[in-house]
Structure 1
Amino acid sequence: MQSSRKVSALAVASVAALVLSGCAESKRDESGTSGSSGSTSNATMTFAAAGAPKTFDPFYATDGESFRPARQMFEGLVDFKPGTADLTPGLATSWNPSSDGKTWTFKLRTGVKFSDGTPFNADAVCKNFERMDKQNEAGQTAASYWNDNMGGFNKSKTDLYQGCTAKGEDSVELKLLRPTSKFPALLGLPAWSMQSPTALEKYKANDVKAQGDGITQSEYASKYPTGTGPFKFESYDVQNKTVTLVRNDDYHGEKAKVAKLVFKIIPDGTSRKQALLAGDVDGYDLPNPVDWASLKSAGMNLMVRPAFNILYLGLNPTKNPALKDLKVRQALYYAINRDQLVKTQLPEGATVATQWYPKTVDGYSDAVQQYKYDPEKAKSLLKEAGQSNLSIDLWYPSEVTRPYMPDPQKIFQAVKADWEKVGVKVNTVTKPWAGGYTDGTSNGASPAFSIGWTGDYNTPDNFLANFFIGKQMGVTSYPWGAQLQKEITDADSIVDAGQRTAAYKKLSEKLMKDYMPGLPISNSPPAIVFGKNISGIVASPLTAEDFSTAVKK
C-alpha cells in the first residue's frame, strides 16, 4: 500500500518468515479445526495505533489504521501464509482457473458462520461480490481498492468482475473479463473480505453518500461490521480514542489467545514508544529506526519485517516540461548517492533499488541498466539537454513515517544536497501527509516528490499498475505513455507463468533504459515492536499481522 490505501497462484516468491520468539506458529488445517499450540486466556492486548480508523467496513477502507482491525475481524477466500507473501487457503480450501484464465472455481469451507450466526456459503460469497460491484456514484469513489484493481463497476466493459455463480452450497464460480495475474491473490486483501449478507442488508452498508469533499457511510461501517474472523467488533470510543474487539468464541478455527484486543490511538511516535516502555500498551508499528537499539536494550520484542516495498522519486513532466527529456531524468538519477542515502538514512538491511519492485517479486531482472552515483555524468547530461540551470520543485511529506520512508525530511535533504551539487536549483515544498501531500501527489500536482509502496501481494502488476496507471506520474504526457500502460496490462493478462515472468523482465529493462518515468531509490525493512510479555505473533512482509496468535504473559 502506498499513501493511505492502495502472488500469482501459478508462481509465487516466498519471503522468509519471522516469528516472535517463545511461541510456535499457529496453523489451521483445511477443515478449519484448531491446532495444538497454546490456549486461550482472559488477557487484554493493547496496541498503539498511529491514527483513528476511517471505517470498519474494509470494502471502503483505504488506510492502514482501518485495515489493521479489519484483518482481525474478517477473512477472505484466500489468505497469505504467516510471515510470507505466499498464498494459502482462507475461506476457500482450493481454487482452479479455466484454461483461458477467465473463470475461477473456488471450493469453500463448510460449517463456517459469520459472528452474527449467518451461514457462510456460496450464496453469501455471491451476495458479497454483487454488493461490491453494485455501487452508487459515491460508493464507486469510496471503493478505491475495487476501482483500482477491477477497473470498473456494474459489470462494465472495463470491469474485471463479470459475475458470480453459486454451484451448490460449497462452490462458486467467479467470471473475469480477462485473465490477470492478480487472481486469486487479490482476494486475500481486506477490501475483498467476506461480510455477513444479513448485516450488510440490515444496516444498509451500501448507503454511501457524498458530503462536501468527503464521503459518509452507513451505520454498518461504524457500529456493526460482521465477519468470520477470530475477533468481533465491540465498540469504538471516539472520546477515549480506543477501538475494542473481543474474541469470537464461535470462530471456526483456532480461537484467539487473548480475550480482548484494544487499539489505542496515539498519533505521536515518541509517545507510542514511551507508552510501550511504561507498559501502557503492548506494541506499536513502525518504530523509528533510531529507536531500534534502545528498544532491544530495554527487552522489547522488536521484529524486522522482510523488505517488500520501494521508495521512489516520482517525476511529473506535466508540471515541469524539462522532465520530458530522458537525459534530464537520467542526470537526476546519476546525481543521487543512493548508497550513501541508504547507509545513513535507512535502517540496517535496507538496499539500493535498481528497478520498480523488490528482488522477491517474479519479473525482477538482473539485466537492467545501472545508474551508479556519478555527479560528473549528471552535469554532462544536463548540459547536453540544455538544462545546466534546471530548477525543480521537490515535495516531501511531514507528519508521517512510512515503512519505506522513516524520516521523510532527512531523505529530502539528502536528495536536495545531491541535486544542488550538480547545479540543480531545488525549491522546497512540504505538506502534511494527510493534509495535502497524498492528494496533491496522487492528482499530479507535484513535479518531483518522495513516495513509495508496500506490496499488497506478490505480483509485478501490484507495483507497476499502481505507479504508472494514474495521474501522479504524468505518464500519458510522454509519447510512449500509452504504450507503457498497454505493456503493463498485456503482461498482467498472460496466463502462462513463465511467459508472464519473461514479459515482466523485459518490461523492467525498458522501464530503466528507455522509459524511466521516475527514480527507484531503495527497499527498506520496516519493524514492528511488542512488549517483553508478548509472544506468538508472526511478522508479515505485507504488514498484515494476525493478532489472534498473540500470547500475553
Structure 2
Amino acid sequence: MFTKSSRKPLGLVAVAASLTLVATACAESDRGGAGGGDEQPFVFASAGDIASLDPFLATDGETFRYSRQVFETLLEHESGGSEIVGGLAETWEQSEDGTVWTFGLRDGVEFHDGDELNAEAVCANFDRWFNLTGAYQSSNNSYYWQKIFGGFAENDEDHAPPEPRYVSCDAEDELTVVIEVSEYSSLYPGGFSLAAFGIMSPSSLEAMEGQEIGGEEGNPTLPEYSQVPGTVAGTGPFTVEEWNQDQSEITFNRFDGYWGDPAGFERMIIRAIPDENARRQALEANDIHGYDLVAPADVGPLQDAGFEVPTRDVFNVLYLAYQQDHEALAELEVREALSHAVNRQRIVDTILPEGGEVATQFHPDTLDGWSPNVREFEYDPELAQEKLADAGYEDLEIEFCYPTEVTRPYMPAPKDIFDVITEDLQEAGVTVEATSYEWAEYINQTDSGNCPLYLLGWTGDYNDAYNFIGTWFAGPSSAWGVDDEELFDKMAEVSGNPDEEERVAGYQELNEMVMDILPGLPISSSPPSIAFSADVNPPNVSPLTQENFAEASWK
C-alpha cells in the first residue's frame, strides 16, 4: 500500500490541560456523559456561512467544515494530524508509473438515504464530475476539480478549463475502484482526500441530474439541490436536517447507520457568527459551546475563565495579491515598491496570535520545499517611493479589496489588516480606493480578476508544498493575471518528478522563481485557536482545520 509520509510532524500546540481533554474526547466511555445531556444540541459558531450543500462547488473552509461531517472521501487525514490514512477506502496502492490508483473500499458502508457504497457508486461520482458542462466548468464552480484532475470530457471554450488529467474510473469488482490519471503527479494521493470530492449516493446523483448553474461569471446562481436539504446524501457521521440561510445556521442529526464510531452528539448546529467578539460573548453566555478563530487577545482570558482553547500548528499563509492585468501592477518595479511599502512585522506584532511570523514565501516553513534563498522585501517606505517614481507611478491610485463579515485562520481581523496596509501604502504616496465585499462575493470577485489589490490566504489541504504554490501558479489564472510559461513549465516538471529529494529541491527553486516574479506579497503565517466550553470533550484539533465533530461529546 502506498502512503505518503508526513514530512515534518504537525503536532498540537496547546496547554497540557487542553491536550488531556482532547485525548479524552476520543474515549468511547465518555460519550453521552453528564454535560449538556444527549438531547441538547451542540452549537458551534463558525466565522461564516456555508456556500453550498455540494462541496464540489465550493472553495471555502466553512463549506468544507460542514461537508466533512456529512460526506467522506476515499482518503482522509489522521485525526489531529496531516498523515494521509484510509477514508472510504481501507487500502490504496499506486502503479509503478504513478498513473493508476487502486482503492479497496470498506465493506458494509451505507449512505444516509439507504443506498450502499460500492465501486460503481464511487465511479458514478467521478464520472459525473468529469462530464460536467456549461457554467460548472467555470473555475468559480469547479475549482478543486480543475486543480487536481484538470479539465472535462468536453472542455467549454468559454470557460477555458485546462486539459484533463483524469482518464477513467472503473469498478473492478464490488469493492475495488481503479482510477487512472494521465501522468504521475505530486497532487496524488493528497488530492483524493479533498473535501470537494466527498462521495454522494447514486440516488443523490440521479436527483440532481439536469440542474444547472445560472447567473453570470463572478455571481453564479447555484442549483437548487445545493441550496435545499433533501437531495444530497453522504456516508458521514451526521445527516443534514435543515439549512436556515436567513439565520446562517445548519442543523445536523447523528446518523445511526454510520459504519464507524457513532457521533458523540445526537444533534449539532453550526451557526455563522462573523464577528469574533460576538462569538466570544456567545460562548461566555453559554449560547454556544464552541467557536473557531479565537481573537489572539481572547485566548488567555478564556483559558483563565475555564474554557478549553487549544491552538493549531501553523499551516497557512496570508498574502497581498497583485492582479497583473491591471496596468500599473503589470510593472515589476511597481510590485516591488508596494512590497517594500508594507510593514508586515507590525501586522504580526499587533494583530496576529502569538506564534505568528512574517512570511517570506507562499507557504509556511513547516513544509519541505521552503527555501532560505528567496528574494526578500524589507520594509522601506522611502525605497518604495523611489521605485514608484522610477516606474512613472509616483501618483499611483489603486483599488484595494478586503472581505467583510468573516475571519479566516490566516486572517483573524481582515479590516484591521487592511487598515495597516492602507496606512503603509499612503505613507509611500499611494492613493487607495477601498472596496469591500461580503465573503462569498469577495471570493468570486477576486477569482474573476476584478480586484487589483486584495487580501487572501490559504490553509493547506494536505502536506505538500505543491498544494500551496501549485494551487496558484501552475498555470494562467484570472485571480493573479500571471502569464509566465517558464514558471508554468517548471511547476509541471517538478510536480511530475517521482523522486522525492529532487522534487523538494525543485520546490525550493520554484519558491525562488515565484518571489522573483512577485505575483503578490506573502504577509504572514499564524497558528489559529479554537475554543470549547468546559462541559465539552473537544475533538482533536487539526493543523489543516479539518476537525471531525463526531469525536466530541458532552462530559
TM-score, normalising length: structure 2: 0.88
Partner of 1:166: 171
In 1, distance between residues paired with 2:390 and 2:131?
54
3-state DSSP of counterpart to 2:214:
strand
Deviations 1:93-142 (A, max 9, x none): 22222222111111222222222332212122111211222213133343
Shift in Å, 1:444: 2.0
| Whole-angstrom CA distance in 2 between matches of 1:296 and 1:281 | 16
Residue pair 1:40, 1:256 contacting (<8 A) in 2 also: no
Asked if the contact 1:206–1:218 (Cα under 8 Å) also holds between the matched residues in 2, the reply is no
2:58 is equivalent to residue 66 of structure 1: no
AA at the equivalent of 2:472: F
Candidates 413, 425, 430, aligned match of 1:425: 430
Q: Does 2:400 match 1:400?
A: no
Partner residue of 2:461 out of 456, 463, 479:
456
* Counterpart position of 1:306: 313
Cα displacement (A) at 1:326: 3.2
Task: Report how far residue 370 of structure 1 moved.
Answer: 3.0
Deviations 1:132-155 (A, max 9, x none): 222131333433322343221127
Match runs of 1:362-381 below 5 Å: 362-381=368-387
Cα distance in structure 1, aligned partners of 2:520 and 2:278: 35
What residue in structure 2 maps to residue 277 of structure 1?
284
Q: Does 1:17 align with 2:12?
A: yes
User: Is structure 2 residue 148 aligned with structure 1 residue 146?
Assistant: no
Deviation per CA, 1:323-353: give whole Å up to 9, x if none: 3443333333233332232111211110110
Maintained 8 Å contact 2:426/2:432: no
* Residues 205 and 221 in structure 1, CA contact (< 8 A), matched pair in contact too: no
Q: Show CA shifts across 1:505-549 (max 9, x none).
A: 11112222x312211111011222111111231111221110001
Q: Which residue of 2 aligns with 1:4?
A: none
Instruction: Judge conservation of contact 1:25–1:538 (CA < 8 Å) in 2.
Output: no
One-letter code of the match for 1:461?
Answer: Y
Q: Is the 8 A contact 1:20 1:301 kept in 2?
A: no
Inter-CA distance 219–405: structure 2 relative to 1 (3 Å threshold) = closer
Deviation of 1:22 after TM superposition, in Å, equals 1.9
> Is the CA contact 2:47–2:407 (under 8 Å) kept in the aligned structure 1?
no
Q: Which amino acid aligns with 2:95?
A: S
Contact 1:126 1:166 in 2 (8 A): yes
Partner of 2:508: 505
The question of 1:255 aligning with 2:262 is answered yes
What does residue 296 of structure 2 align with? 289
User: Which residue does 1:85 correspond to in 2?
Assistant: 82
Q: Judging changes above 3 Å, is the alpha-carbon distance between structure 1 residues 21 and 465 closer, same or farther for their aligned structure 2 residues?
A: same
Matched, 1:180 2:212: no
Matched AA of 1:306: D
Question: Does the CA contact (< 8 Å) of 2:25 and 2:540 recur in 1?
Answer: no
Stretch of structure 1 that moved more, 433-442 or 172-181: 433-442
> What is the count of residue pairs matched by the alignment?
532
Q: Is 2:51–2:440's contact at 8 Å kept on the other side of the alignment?
A: no
Cα shift at 1:237: 4.1
Is it true that 1:48 corresponds to 2:45 in the alignment?
A: yes
Q: Which whole-Å CA distance do the structure 2 matches of 1:447 and 1:90 have between them?
A: 40
SS for the counterpart of 2:56 is coil
Match of 2:130 in 1: 133
Deviations 1:357-406 (A, max 9, x none): 01122211122233333445445544554555544443333333222222
Cα distance in 2 between the residues matched to 1:171 and 1:204: 26
| Partner residue in 2 for 1:442 | 447
Q: Is the 8 A contact 1:51 1:65 kept in 2?
A: yes
Q: Is the 8 A contact 2:367 2:463 kept in 1?
A: yes
**Aligned-pair CA distance for 1:158:** 0.9
Could you give the per-residue CA deviations for residues 420-466 of structure 1, whole angstroms, max 9, x where no partner exists? 44x43232312123375433322223332222112222222222233
How many Å apart are 1:504 and its aligned residue? 0.8
Note the residue ranges of structure 2 that are not aligned, 5 or more in a row.
Answer: 156-161
- Decide whether the 8 Å contact of 2:73 with 2:193 is kept in 1: yes
User: Partner letter of residue 288 of structure 1?
Assistant: A
Q: Is the 8 A contact 2:44 2:271 kept in 1?
A: yes
Residue in structure 2 matching 1:539, options 523, 538, 541: 541
- Measured on the aligned residues, the alpha-carbon RMSD in Å equals 2.6
TM-score, with normalisation over the residues of structure 1?
0.88
Q: Offset of 1:179 from its aligned partner?
A: 1.6
Counterpart residue type for residue 168 of structure 1:
D
- Residues 84 and 166 of structure 1: CA distance in aligned 2, closer, same or farther (over 3 Å): same
Which of 468, 490, 493 lines up with 2:493 in the alignment?
Answer: 490
Percent identical among aligned pairs is: 37
User: What do residues 204-238 of structure 1 show as CA deviations (whole Å, max 9, x unaligned)?
Assistant: 35523424642342447622331111112223345
